Homo-oligomer: A and B are copies of this chain.
């Protein structure tokens, strides 16, 4: 299949500059549109939604760390070996991240957010409003290991609940 060439529409600005697994909620984050690609007007009305879906490129991943088969998530042998497409880790083909964040406000070409797990400088490929009807339909289930893995993802267990 032919290669697919995309362009960054914006850049992540974050107080976190290196990838870490957990505790993402402590970071201050905004996304800055590239004015050569999209005018400020492209954001118009995004703040009438409570949440936005951010599609970004995890460009700090080294090519030789990309997993294509199955592995224990986070190399934890207590968790089952599952395929990379049954995990959300960054060491995947195309290194695309998709995260739903709370919209705080728009300031010109900047979109201020809460809860984005992307490091400073990450290229942004798309922003979409979060729409209730696009949520999972029917009953949601997930294996227990994933629930365990996510425990400190947004806030480390030691943090005070906000």
Which residues of A line the B interface, CB within 8 A?
1, 3-9, 11, 34, 37-39, 41-46, 48-51, 53, 55, 57, 59, 68-70, 80-88, 92-94, 96, 98-100, 102, 115, 123, 125-143, 146-147, 150, 153-154
B85 lies within 8 A of A46 (CB): yes
B39 lies within 8 A of A87 (CB): no
How near does chain B come to A67, taking the closest CB pair, in angstroms?
Answer: 8
Residue in B closest to A40 when the chains form the complex, CB atoms = B83
Contact of A86 among B45, B93, B140 (CB under 8 A): B45
When A43-B83, A45-B82, A129-B87 are in contact, do A140 and B9 touch as well, CB less than 8 Å? no
Residue in B closest to A111 when the chains form the complex, CB atoms = B85
A55 lies within 8 A of B7 (CB): no
How near does chain B come to A156, taking the closest CB pair, in angstroms?
Answer: 14
Instruction: Provide the residues of chain B in CB contact with A70, threshold 8 Å.
Output: 41-42, 44-45
B69 lies within 8 A of A42 (CB): yes
Indicate how many identical chains form the complex. 2
A153 lies within 8 A of B140 (CB): no
CA distance A92 to B146 in the complex (A): 33
B136 lies within 8 A of A44 (CB): no
Residue in B closest to A127 when the chains form the complex, CB atoms = B85
A123 lies within 8 A of B4 (CB): yes
How near does chain B come to A143, taking the closest CB pair, in angstroms?
Answer: 5
CA distance A57 to B86 in the complex (A): 20
A39 lies within 8 A of B55 (CB): no
